[in-house]
Structure formats: structure tokens, C-alpha cells
Amino acid sequence: MDTATMAQTQVAPRTIRRERRRMKTAWAVMEALVREGVEVIFGVPGGASLPLYDALYDYPQIRHVLVRHEQCAIHMAEGYARATGKPGVCFTTSGPGATNLVTGLTDAMMDSTPLVAITGQVPTFFMGGDAFQEADVIGVTMSITKHNWLVRTPAQAPEAVHMAFRLATDGRPGPTLVDLPRDVLLAEADFILEDPEAFRPSRPRPPFPDERALRQAADLIAQSQRPILYVGGGVIHSGAAPEIRALAEKARIPVATTLMGLGAFPEDHPYALKMLGMHGTVYANFAINFSDLIIAVGARFDDRVTGKLSAFAPHAKVIHIDIDPAEINKNRRADVALIGDAKSILRALLPLVRPPDTEAWWRQIEDWRARYPLRYRQGEDVIKPQFAIQMIYELTKDYRPIVTLDVGQHQMWAAQFFTWTEPRTCITSGGLGTMGFGLPAAVGAQFGRPDRLVININGDGSFQMTFQALITAVEWQLPIKVFIINNQYLGMVRQWQELFYNRRYSAVYLANPDFARMAEAVGAAGIRVERPDQVEPAVRQALAITDRPVVVDIHVDPEENCFPMIPSGMTVFDTMIAPGVKAVP
Amino acid sequence: MPHWLAVTIENSVESLNRVFHLLRQRHLPVGPISMCRTEDPQDLRLLIPVDPARVDPQRVRANLEKLLCVKAVEDWGERPLVIRDMALVKVRAPSEAWVEIAQLAEFYRARIVDVGPETLIVEVTGSAEKVDSCIARLQRFGVVEVTRSGPMAMVRGQAEAAPADRMAEAAA
């Protein structure tokens, strides 16, 4: 199928020459962006950022994608970054434009997504005086960026932009922000345009793990009887999926991935235990909790993985491989900490690894796997959400789609019922759980990967949080497929109210519009699905439409629950596989 | 005895904001922080006491080192230090009490640095305990106001460069 229907503009070859030119700061900012290889910017113009947009007019090699809300712009930048590994870029104006980035910046910080936000600011001589559309963006975004820069003079601008790109991808990736006052953008000055590589943040870096630490880790692996690899999003950022596979195969170690790690290890591999955690597979959770050695790679022992921390995997030693020294001993004490890039560390570790005897351990795991598969029961009348998701998977898998998920029950079902095999194909909001992430992320992913089929699996609640992104997708004729798993509830909240709040359904019913007609109204295709036998033809019909986005509104069982579930703050011994039914190890 | 982290940062309101913002944001349980100037007017040194029973000093350090405005973090936990605190203490002092206050100050090697119509200002320097004790003794005359620097510290006996320089060397 031809998904590359977007107009592809040729990106100018990167100038790496050092040159001196007189120009306005806004143009120097654009020059810096060109030198960083930026192809696409998501944004909305406004008063303070007018000079920047004036300069943008002179740079047709950079596409600007006009969004209808800045939150869409930053989630698009996130989707672009997660699909490509390159930093996403967004532009907003001062005040409300910039504050609308707060959710996306926090999201990117939590999920270590590299992106650069460039915000307009009121002129320096107004700053601090509550000027029109003034907001203390540096203060507001201080804790949700890796670093942010307020540019006070023209000379600081190119350096701030280049440093923002370096820092966004340096070490643990994350978001950065450059705040540009209007008078600075308009000021003319002599600029020295540099090769981006001339800018490096000078920060102390922990030394690469020494031979002794690597040997200690290898010894722990050799001595273990019940080892498990616990693989997080860091493996995807690092590009360490092949090394994870090599380690698993060499030492015959089962692999469980976090939500962020989906795709880091192929789930069709016999060693894959799929996702662990609150809605992970029973066998992955049993395996990690009964393990005697956890090899955590690019993962941070999040509460959605551990449940009650003090009772989590009580007999396990921990090898913690992470690029961020601040993650070591944050939630769980590490017996051996290997700080650095996962790929390099695994490469250094692999030759030292001696396979432990895991025969008995595998027998135990296979017993759990046989007893507790993921399951649901599809009847004749009502569509089960798991059935719809499985059908979407089966009918699209040959395209190797990039899939963005929003947040809620559909996200967990998709995590469970897709077979994830490739890094950067599952893009979702993990740490922050940002409803509204999925649709704009799909738009961003499609801009980053015009060659790939991009699917968004959404919920009816979350779809309505950033629906405007569909308008942008129509404008650019992006052939993304949006599947709304529509249960007319804020489903995950309803599930918790059912299970833990005596079925007191408070503020969870959604009086929804007709999503198919809504899609048609903005120029996308809309398909409504209400019976199980309609699912397959609808998915096929959606795949056949390649000149615009398609929204498939799938009406599913409103009260289906997402299981397995380890209730918040509980342990693996509290795993529910149905209401009132617990899994037994 | 607290575990000290000596943190050298850029001397600016913005970098102070970043450091305090981070400590608050991460809920890192650190003790009262004192702030000193250094041989370089561009630098500020923060002394951050950490209780290892409550938080791993290494974690505090790793978080601080993420900030670009942080030039160096030194863990002074186990090192021998000279620690000095300084206080200015304004004491209510009718002239008949002057001699007695001067004798007390002498005992603490403190100095009377201002004489007003109804008050004296006593300057006292030393360990935190000595300064505490001096202030406590002055209470009976009536202490009007106290300002204190909080502890300043330096590692005893080392002839190496200051932490920021060493860190710059390591980075180069």
C-alpha cells in the first residue's frame, strides 16, 4: 500500500561551514534549525512569535504543520521523535501558546522523549510586568524540561538553539525549551553560524562501567537460577534491541517488557513474556516476582510495574543498567549498577556472560504461561474490545504498522493483544498517562515515517481531548487510520469505580457525538461499526483509503474490564483475572 | 554529623532557582542549606547537608549534576572539614550591662561591632554549637534580632584546586 502520499520536500544539504552573517535573530534561529537538520515543525503563530514566522517564510525546506491547539503540536513532535529517534520540534507564541505545552513537556520528560520547544516571549522591556500574553515560561517549565533557556541577547540565540538540540538527545533524552523575546528576535546582529557539533554541554559523565562491575554482573547471571530481563523504553532509545535479544538467547533468560519497552524484544520469540505490570500478563508478573535476579535495562521500577514496592520481587538481586545515574537506587536498590548507554554496556557485558541453568525455571514459567493466557470471550451480538483490537492487529500486521495508543483501557488491551516485534512501532504515553496523546502522536509519526502505515488506537474519551489533530491530518492528506474503541465511558475510571468504589459510576458516562460523521465533517472518512461481523470489513475498508485519514468508530461492550489487573499498591498475589478471581502462582 | 555536599553553581538568581526547584520537585530531604561566595565572583558554593539514613547522597548528587548551572558537586561526607558559622546578634543593652556583655563576648572571642543608644551588636564566629551557645547566653539580656550565615566549610589540608576547576579539568 502506498502510504507515502504526502508531499515530500527535499531537505537542503546541511551547511557545516562556519560563517559570519548579519541578520535578524529570527533568521539566525532558522539557520540554526536548518543546521540541526530539522525537516518539520509543528506549531501555531502568535504575536510574540511573529518574527519567527516571518523568518520561516524564507525557509521553504522546513515544513510547518499548523495545528489547532498547541497541545497537538507538542504531541505531534513527540510522535515524530518516537517514530524516528530524532528530536521533534514545535513553535508556539508566548503566554497561552507556551503554557499549552505544559502537558506535552511533562509527558516527554516522563517518557524521555527528545524534543525542542521554541516559544515566543514578550519583549524584554515588558518582561516581569504582566504584559499582554506574558507568562513566566522559564519558571513554569523548569521542572518539565531537561533545561530551558531565556535568550536575552541576539548572540545567545543560536547557541541556545543548538544546545537545546544537543541536550535533548544527550544521555537520557528529554524535552528542552528556548524562550525568545520578540525584541530579541527582531534585533539585527552579526552572527557566527556554526556547525552544530561545535556545541556540547560540558557535564560530568560517570565513567563507563569498569571490568570489575561487568564481571560482577556476569557472575550474578551465572549464579542465578531464576533470572529475568526487565526491559524498558531506554532500550528503544539506545537502539539496544539486538543486544537484548543476544543476551536473552545466550543465557536463556525470559524477557518481560514495560509499556514503554514494547517492541524492544520480539513477542513472537519463545522467551517473550510480553508486558509486565498492573495489566501485564500473569506469567510475566509471576516470573519477575519469583525471580532471583532482575536484569533491569532502561527501566525505572515504576509503580505501575512494581505495585507495592516493599513486596516486589523480594528474593531478587538487581542488576540495573541505566544511562541516568539518578535512577540508580531511586525505587529499588541495585546490587550491581551499570551506568551508561544500554547498547554499549550490553555489548561489553555479552562476552562475559555464562549461561545459568534455567531448565527448572523455564518449566515453571511454561506452567504459568499455559495456565494464565490472555483471554476474552467474543459472543455473537456485542463486540468485545479485545476482539476488535486483535482483528486490527491481524489485518494490519503484514504492513508492519507504527501504532500510537492513547491512554486507558484500549491502551492496555492493545498492549496485550498486539504482538509487538519491532522497536519504535508502539508509541504511547506511559509515565504521564496523557489522554489525548495518541491522535496527534500518529500525525507526528506519519510525518517522520511517511513510508509506513500509521495506526492510532484510541478511546472515545481520549479521542475527544485532541480531536482537532484530525483536521491537520486531513489538511496534509495523511492516510492514518484511527480506530476508536468506543465504550461510551471513561472506561478505565469506570472499571475502578466498578471494582473499588461499589459501582458508583460518577462522571464517567460520555454522551458521545457520532464520530464517523464528525470525521466526515472535517474531510476524513468515517466508518461506524456496531456488530462483530462488521469489524473485519471495516478494517479492510479503512486500509483501502489512502488519500485521507479514516476514523473507524467501533462500538464495543461498554462494561468490559481490563484483566489481568494488580490493583494499585497491591502485590502479585492480588492479581485479578476476573472480578473476584485471583491468579494462583 | 551531617553528610555534606558542596555544590558549586553559577552565581545568579536563575541558577539558585534551578537548584532549589529541583530539590523541592524531587522531594529530596536535605537539611538547611547555606550559601557562600568563593574565590571566583562568578561562583556560589552551596553547602547541602544530607542525612544518609533518609536519602542516598549519591542520588542527590546525581540529580544536581543534571543541571547545567551546576559546575561541580563534591561529596564531603567523610572528609575532615573546617566548619564556621557567623552570627550578628543585636542585644538590648542599657549602659550598665555593657561590661557584662563585653566579658561574655570576650569568653566567646566575639566582638562588639556596634553600640547604639539601647542596643549592642555582637559578632560571633565559630562552630554552630559555639554560636548557638553564645546566643543562648546573650538571651538573658534580651536578644532583639539574629542573623546568621549558616555554616561555611572547607576541606582541611588539601592542596588541590577548588572543585569547579577540578571538574572542568575532568570534563576536558
pLDDT in tens, B23-63: 999 999 999 999 999 999 999 999 999 999 999 999 999 99
CA nearest A404: which of A114, A154, A76, A118? A76
Enumerate residue ranges in chain B where pLDDT < 50.
Answer: 172
Task: Report whether CATH 3.30.70.1150 matches the domain B82-152.
Answer: yes
Does A207 touch chain B if contact means CB atoms closer than 8 Å? no
Residue A19's H or E segment, with its range, is strand A19-24
* ipTM at complex level: 0.90
Q: Which CATH superfamily is domain A385-555 in?
A: Thiamin diphosphate (ThDP)-binding fold, Pyr/PP domains (3.40.50.970)
Residue to test with chain B: of A109, A143, A324, most B Cβ within 10 A: A143
Residue to test with chain B: of A112, A140, A202, most B Cβ within 10 A: A202
Does B68 touch chain A if contact means CB atoms closer than 8 Å? yes
The pLDDT score that the predictor gives to residue A132 is 97
Pairs of CB atoms within 8 A across A/B:
39
Q: Do A325 and B67 touch (CB under 8 A)?
A: no
Residues in chain A, how many?
585
| A436-477: pLDDT as tens digits | 999 999 999 999 999 999 999 999 999 999 999 999 999 999
Does B103 touch chain A if contact means CB atoms closer than 8 Å? no
The pLDDT score that the predictor gives to residue B71 is 93
The model's confidence at residue A18, banded by pLDDT at 50, 70 and 90, is confident
The pLDDT score that the predictor gives to residue B168 is 57
The two domains B3-78 and B82-152 share their CATH topology (first three levels equal): yes
pLDDT at residue A16 is higher than 70: no
Residue to test with chain B: of A109, A110, A136, A147, most B Cβ within 10 A: A147
The pLDDT score that the predictor gives to residue A53 is 98
The model's confidence at residue A11, banded by pLDDT at 50, 70 and 90, is very low
| A481-517: pLDDT as tens digits | 999 999 999 999 999 999 999 999 999 999 999 999 9
Pick the CATH number of B3-78 from 3.40.50.1220, 3.30.70.260, 3.40.50.300, 2.102.10.10: 3.30.70.260
Nearest to A147 among B25, B62, B68 (CB): B68
CA nearest B58: which of A326, A210, A319? A326
Instruction: Determine the CATH number of domain A211-371.
Output: 3.40.50.1220
The pLDDT score that the predictor gives to residue B78 is 75
For chain B, domain boundaries: 3-78, 82-152
The two domains A211-371 and A385-555 share their CATH topology (first three levels equal): yes
CB A323 within 8 A of CB A339: yes
For the purposes of burial, counting CB atoms within 10 Å of the CB of A502, is it exposed (0-12), middle (13-18) or buried (19 or more)? Answer: exposed
For chain A, domain boundaries: 19-198, 211-371, 385-555
A-contacting residues in B 24-43 (Cβ below 8 Å)? 25
pLDDT at residue A9 is higher than 50: no
pLDDT averaged over every residue in chain A: 95
Contact list, A202 vs chain B (CB under 8 Å): 168, 171
Region of B46 please: left (phi>0), alpha (psi -120 to 50) or beta: beta
CA nearest A507: which of A521, A499, A497? A497
| A178-227: pLDDT as tens digits | 999 999 999 999 999 988 888 887 776 778 898 999 999 999 999 999 99
To the nearest 10°, the Cα dihedral for A341, A342, A344, A347?
170
Residue to test with chain A: of B68, B166, B167, most A Cβ within 10 A: B68
Task: Report whether CATH 3.40.630.10 matches the domain A19-198.
Answer: no
CB A417 within 8 A of CB A49: no
| A358-395: pLDDT as tens digits | 999 999 999 999 999 999 999 999 999 999 999 999 99
The pLDDT score that the predictor gives to residue A197 is 84
Q: CA of B20 to nearest chain A CA: how many angstroms apart?
A: 11
Percent of chain A past pLDDT 90, that is, above it, reads 94
Nearest to B62 among A143, A146, A325 (CB): A325
Percent of chain A past pLDDT 70, that is, above it, reads 97
Contact list, A201 vs chain B (CB under 8 Å): 68
Percent of chain B past pLDDT 70, that is, above it, reads 91
Nearest to B21 among A142, A167, A202 (CB): A142
Q: CA of A237 to nearest chain B CA: how many angstroms apart?
A: 19
